Structure 1
Amino acid sequence: MPTTLPSANKTKPSATTGKGLGRVADILHAARSILAAEGYAGLSMRRVANEVGMSLSNVQHYYGSKDALLEAVLLYTMDVFQANIDGISAAMTSASRMERFLSTTDMFLDEITDPVTHATFFEIWALASRNAFASALMDKMLARERKTIYHLIRGLNPDISDEETMQRAILMVAQVEGLMLFRLDKHARRGEFMAVRASLRKVLVALATMP
């Protein structure tokens, strides 16, 4: 898990230190669970406050609005992704770059098929079509994912230019995000999940390395 948590109130250092850090974590976990279970309409600052046993004013001390809280939930989720990627790199220092890339691909598929993560992203996808703020959040998420994939695949084929590498990273993110449309259950439908994983690996390797 990441060592820091996003806070909408950047000018208040207590939000991410000591006891405040624990409160921020509790708020984000509760908000993420509510968003996944009941959608944006069911998410409210008061509901989150009740879930974590805090006053509404205390929650608002860390996140001044529902949209600020939603942004923090998304950024926190992305930070978890990045922490997992960093963990793979640290654990596979002797592995090839392709092996690290494939392990990261597997991690992405595991994460996006997690019920809470899937529901959270799916809700933001739905909101993005009619809500300017959610659309901006989605753009931010996709930009981070593209940058991450770009750095993972850059140089796997030395003949591919940086510009072309970014275009391929965009296509890869589209492939991974497209799986959000399917409710793959890696436990109840293990065979289907593994078949999709194998197909995704082939497609991503081709995009990362083909001339």
Structure 2
Amino acid sequence: MLSEASQAESLFERTASPREKKRVQRIEEIIDTAARIFVRDGHAQFSARRVAGEMGISLSNLQHYCGTTENLLLSMIRAKIEIFVTQFVAIAEDRSLSPEERLLKVIGEDLEAARDPWIASFSFQSWALAEHDEAIGAHVKIIYETFCRVIAKLILEVNPQLTIARSEVFSVLIASQIEGLLFYNKQTGLLERHWQETLDTTLAMWLMMIRAG
């Protein structure tokens, strides 16, 4: 069964005009180029002008599609980070799986994403940017708060005996440990040799904690 996002994308493919499709494709190209520059050069060196230059288009042309540099950054973060949370929400709502299966699937997929060096670099730059840009910081906060709410809700389904406060504490601990693994694996690569064992151990440890309360 298609997710709501997949259904919307399928509908767009069937109903959008060639001009609309071309515009969406152009925006995706801009976002991909922006993300590559963001990771390669760092948030401090990022600018819409640099993105336009790398694409061989004028700044005004780029702004026609994405607006200001801050709008471009927000679109980029939505496309590269927020998309994961959207996927996790869809998994959390999949009633064909048990609460425990949904929880493990969400955490497992987030851990797999954390394993990707490019995603790790993009996350680091986003965090650094969020420290200096209020609007970006507010949006990044919403993304991570949404993820924690998804995890907390699933934790309560796995163990209904827990209090809401306890489930929220567990969700933040899990989210922060995943980010810690992201950082440690990116900087050292030591976990890569034992990734499956790391994954299995981490999931078993968290599940034991949740069941015990």
Question: Scaled by the length of structure 2, what TM-score is found?
Answer: 0.77
* 1:171 maps to 2:173: yes
For structure 1, the 5+ residue unaligned runs are 6-13
* 1:82 maps to 2:85: yes
* 1:201 maps to 2:194: no
For structure 2, the 5+ residue unaligned runs are 10-16
What residue identity is the alignment partner of 2:38? L
1:152-194 deviation digits (Å, cap 9, x = unpaired): 3231111112333223222221111222321349x99643322
Counterpart of 2:121 in structure 1 is: 119
Task: Give yes or no for contact 1:32–1:116 (8 Å, CA) kept in 2.
Answer: no
What residue identity is the alignment partner of 2:34? A
SS of 2:185 mapped into structure 1: coil
Aligned equivalents of 2:50 and 2:91: distance in 1?
36
* 1:105 maps to 2:84: no
Q: Pick the aligned partner of 1:71 from 57, 61, 74.
A: 74
Task: Give yes or no for contact 1:36–1:117 (8 Å, CA) kept in 2.
Answer: no
Question: Scaled by the length of structure 1, what TM-score is found?
Answer: 0.77
Aligned equivalents of 1:207 and 1:60: distance in 2?
49
Q: How many residue pairs end up in the alignment?
A: 201
Relative to 1, partners in 2 of residues 1:83 and 1:52: Cα closer, same or farther, differing over 3 Å? Answer: farther
Counterpart of 1:23 in structure 2 is: 26
Which structure has more helix as a fraction of its residues? 2
Q: Pick the aligned partner of 1:144 from 120, 142, 146.
A: 146
Larger deviation: 44-53 or 98-107? 44-53
1:119-156 deviation digits (Å, cap 9, x = unpaired): 11111223334443443233122212212212332311
Larger deviation: 105-114 or 174-183? 174-183
Relative to 1, partners in 2 of residues 1:50 and 1:118: Cα closer, same or farther, differing over 3 Å? Answer: same
Flag the structure with larger Rg.
2
Aligned equivalents of 2:209 and 2:73: distance in 1?
33
Task: Give yes or no for contact 1:127–1:135 (8 Å, CA) kept in 2.
Answer: yes
Counterpart of 2:48 in structure 1 is: 45
Relative to 1, partners in 2 of residues 1:57 and 1:107: Cα closer, same or farther, differing over 3 Å? Answer: same
Task: Give yes or no for contact 2:191–2:198 (8 Å, CA) kept in 1.
Answer: no
Relative to 1, partners in 2 of residues 1:26 and 1:188: Cα closer, same or farther, differing over 3 Å? Answer: farther
Task: Give yes or no for contact 1:122–1:180 (8 Å, CA) kept in 2.
Answer: no
- C-alpha RMSD of the superposition: 3.3
